[in-house]
Structure 1
Amino acid sequence: MSTKKIIAALLSTALLGGLSACSGSDSKDAEGEKIRIGSTDSSKKAWQVFQDKAKEAGLPLEVVDFSDYSTPNQALDQGQLDVNQFQHLKFLASYNSSANATLTPIGSTEIVPLALFWKDHDSLDGIEGQEVVIPNDPTNQGRAINVLVQAKLLELRTPGLVTPTPADVDTDKSKVKITPVDAAQTTAAYGEGKPAIINNSFLDRAQIDPKSAVFADDPSSTEAEPYINVFVTRAEDKDNERYKKLVEIWHDQAVQDAVAEDSRGTSVPVDRPAEDLQKILDRLEADLKK
């Protein structure tokens, strides 16, 4: 090969290499690398507004959507994500305990209350002595019992349990009886006129107005703390200012308006310091180890 052809080939290779580098640069912009954040509901309006606001603040996001609830924590733990935002503190505690992990909350978002519904009633008046139907799955049963504790309808043999079971209820001191059923059956019980605790995913299917609840858990109560939804990262990244800025952006009014629209007005914003969230998480993890 002639010297001219060799030089031409080298120049062509260099040019192709430069183009290849440019084509791979979509993971960056003028403000720096994109933040990879995991979600399970990125199609919701709040996430679209959140991405736009983050980009305006110089924090472009690469949102990775997951179809299940176990993978986002694994992906974060393994360094495939920078942050995730899909879970409450109780779920995070369960993951950390089972995986021997140290994933860390850096900010809160909201609580979606679990509520008590009673057809053709707008208050708790007359509920004493009634049979209240609650979901029997591990995620909701303990929380449902605590909703009734907060409503002063149930008393526990040992106050302050994070995840009480029906066996923990002091029936002699309680004002109602509870009947655990499959969560999907709570709406049927409601339709029959029984008071029922129904989670949000079944309200829509049964066309029950979430604002018709006669009682919901108080987001500022100790019993509700495990269900605060959070931004999470690895322990070594908990002080990363870019990630912490995402928490501030989530509480931008435009994002909050979209969250309210997505949840039909049922979500309650929660803005708790990371230190408080870590204390709650530590308590939950300690309870799981007992």
Structure 2
Amino acid sequence: MIFTRAMTFILIAALSGSAAVAAAADYSGPLKVGTTSAFAPPLETAVEEAKKQGLKVELIEFSDWTAPNVSVENGDIDVNLFQHQPFLDNANQQGGFHLVKYAPAIINNVGLYSIKHTALDQIPDGGTVAIANDPVNGGRGLLLLQKAGLITLKPGAGLKSTVDDIVDNPRHLKIIEVEAVQLSRSLQEVDLAQGYPHYLRASGVIDPNNALMFDGLEHPEYVIQFVIRDGHQNDPRLKKFVDIYQHSPAVRASLDKFYGRLYQPGWSQ
């Protein structure tokens, strides 16, 4: 089932933290895993490999970055895979969730992309740049712009940098904030955009390998995590499924096929 934003807010309103904590853990049914399109194909392979080993897994794909956490908090699914630790920390703070990381998955490169220019020095004075509009991924975009030499952030500005932290913008760039999953579509309208390879691949707008600059893998905080509700760390189904994801040759082949060279296993960081 795919949740809409409206359904997300209904779910949040319906949450009862005390009832969820009081409910006894039941690990007898199929493991329910929530994800987004950016991570689904390798997970589908893991589901098939789990089936061969006698573990039933249901994969639920969501269309936004809010509903997967609401669903884990509410007990509708057992685990999700789509977010890194800074995003999770912000979600817990904003939503009052009790979610924790369980195990690492992968870390993706994020890049700066353009379909109008072939080099960073071609970005014009007064050009328009699109970055993610959420507090965490937007900060990642700003750090990438600083790495590219296009802006300077105030000393100490880090993963949660905002546009207010920009202290030097020599090219007078106009920075607009866009929902992260829509950044690939913004490339038609801007000079430069922060881009996520998996969404770019799905959109077909540009080859995800053709970034003008990648952020590298210098921030291990951006490893995507399997996330569960605190108190469910002893779920034997989860332990088995994560082991399959991390160590199955078939899953590794699926990761290589889907992400190419734009990822690294997070469990080896």
TM-score by length of 2: 0.70
Match of 1:87 among 77, 83, 90: 83
Question: C-alpha offsets along residues 188-241 of structure 1, whole Å, 9 cap, x if unaligned?
Answer: 356xxx44433443565353111111211122326xx2x322111121122445
Deviation at 1:121, TM superposition (A): 6.9
Question: C-alpha offsets along residues 43-82 of structure 1, whole Å, 9 cap, x if unaligned?
Answer: 9432221112222334321223334432322222222322
**2:43 touches 2:245 (CA, 8 Å); kept in 1?**
no
Query: Secondary structure at the residue paired with 1:91?
Result: helix
Q: Does 1:168 align with 2:196?
A: no
Distance 2:62 2:203 in 1: 23
Q: Does 1:178 align with 2:178?
A: no
The answer for the alignment partner of 1:40 in structure 2 is 36
Change over 3 Å in CA distance of 1:117–1:88 after alignment to 2:
same
Question: C-alpha offsets along residues 24-46 of structure 1, whole Å, 9 cap, x if unaligned?
Answer: xxxx9xxx642222233499432
Query: Secondary structure at the residue paired with 2:256?
Result: helix
Match of 2:144 among 138, 144, 147: 147
Q: What amino acid sits opposite 2:138 in the alignment? A: Q
Query: Secondary structure at the residue paired with 1:237?
Result: coil
Q: What amino acid sits opposite 2:151 in the alignment? A: L
**1:156 touches 1:168 (CA, 8 Å); kept in 2?**
yes
Q: What amino acid sits opposite 1:85 in the alignment? A: L
TM-score by length of 1: 0.66
The answer for the alignment partner of 2:24 in structure 1 is none
Distance 1:267 1:47 in 2: 15
What is the identity percentage for the equivalent residue pairs of Structure 1 and Structure 2?
A: 24
**Pairs aligned (count):** 235
The answer for the alignment partner of 1:237 in structure 2 is 232
The answer for the alignment partner of 1:18 in structure 2 is none
The answer for the alignment partner of 1:137 in structure 2 is 133
The answer for the alignment partner of 2:156 in structure 1 is 159
**1:136 touches 1:180 (CA, 8 Å); kept in 2?**
no
Q: Does 1:246 align with 2:241?
A: yes
1:25-64 correspondence to structure 2 within 5 Å = 33-41=29-37, 44-64=40-60
Change over 3 Å in CA distance of 1:159–1:54 after alignment to 2:
same
Q: Does 1:65 align with 2:61?
A: yes
Which structure 2 segments of 5+ residues have no match? 1-26
Query: Secondary structure at the residue paired with 2:187?
Result: helix
Which structure 1 segments of 5+ residues have no match? 1-27, 274-290
Q: Does 1:74 align with 2:70?
A: yes
Q: Does 1:210 align with 2:169?
A: no
